[in-house]
Structure 1
C-alpha cells in the first residue's frame, strides 16, 4: 500500500495510518455521521442518540462502539447515565490531515492562475 507523505497524526492513538483508516471508515456510514452531527451540539445518551433512527438501540450502540474505537467519541459515567461525548481533538486532526492536501492544491491553483494571467497579458 502506498503511504501518503507526511500528514499530521490524528489524536486517536495508534499509528497515524491506522488511526486515519479507522476514523474515515467510521465516518463512511451515514448513521455514524448523523451521530457525530448530533454530538456536536452536546453529549447524549444512547437512548437520545437512537431516537431519530428507525434502528434498534443495540444497533446504535454498535455504531457508537465503532466511533469509540476510531477515537471520535468517548463515554463517561454520570450516576446511572453513560453519556457519549464528541472528541473534538480527533476531528481537528482529521481536518488538519485534509488541510495538508487542500492547501497544497490551492497553492498549485494560485500558480496556475498566475501563469494564465501572464499568458493573458501577452495576448493583448
Structure 2
C-alpha cells in the first residue's frame, strides 16, 4: 500500500484474551488484517481496498488496535490532518484451538473468502480421506506446516494475493 518495507517486530502474537478473540472472529476484521499483510496502510486505504465506509474501516481498525493485533507504525500530516499508518504487531497470529462444538474461526473465514472470490479466479479445492498411523499423521502435519511456511516466505507484494487454508484432522466417529 505504501511501498515501505515494514517488518513486524515479533514473530507471533498469541490470541489469549476475549477482546483478541472477538477481534479476529469478525470477517471484516479478518479482511482488514489481510490488507495489512501487504504492508502499513491508513484507514482510508483500508476502506478503499475493502470497499468500506471510512467510519466502518476506522471502527474495525480501532478494535484490532485495542486488541493488540495491529499498531500505528508512522504518522504523516496531510492538509492539516494526521494520517496514521497501521501494521501488524507480529508476522503471524496464533489462534487458540476451538473448544468442542465451537466453529473454527480460521476455517470459517477461509470458506467465506473462497465463496467471495471473483468468478473465474484460480482456485484449487481438494479433500482426501485416508487411514494413517500416528507417526504418518505427525509427519504429514510437519510437511504441511513446512509447505505453508515456504508459501509465506515466497511472498511478493507486487503479485496478486493467494490464500491457502488447510485442515488436517482426525474426524470423529470414523
TM-score (norm 1): 0.56
Contact 1:32–1:64 at 8 Å: present in 2 too? yes
- Count of residues in correspondence between the two structures: 86
Aligned to 2:68: 71
Deviating beyond 4 angstroms after TM superposition, the runs of 4 or more aligned structure 1 residues are none
* From 39, 47, 52, the counterpart of 2:49: 52
Q: What RMSD in Å do the two structures reach over aligned CA positions?
A: 2.8
Shift of 1:52: 2.9
Compare CA radii of gyration and give the structure with the larger one: 1
Shift of 1:57: 0.3
Deviations 1:17-75 (A, max 9, x none): 5x2x2222111111100110111111001111001334310111010010011110001
> Tell me, what secondary structure is at the counterpart of 1:55?
coil
TM-score (norm 2): 0.42
Structure 2 residues without counterparts, runs of 5 or longer: 1-11, 78-82, 98-132, 138-174
**Structure of higher RCO (CA pairs closer than 8 Å, 6+ residues apart):** 1
Task: Say if 2:38 is the partner of 1:41.
Answer: yes
Aligned to 1:110: 134
CA distance in 1, matches of 2:52, 2:36: 18
Structure 1 residues without counterparts, runs of 5 or longer: 1-9, 99-108, 114-124
Change in CA separation of 1:68 and 1:90 when aligned onto 2, cut-off 3 Å: farther
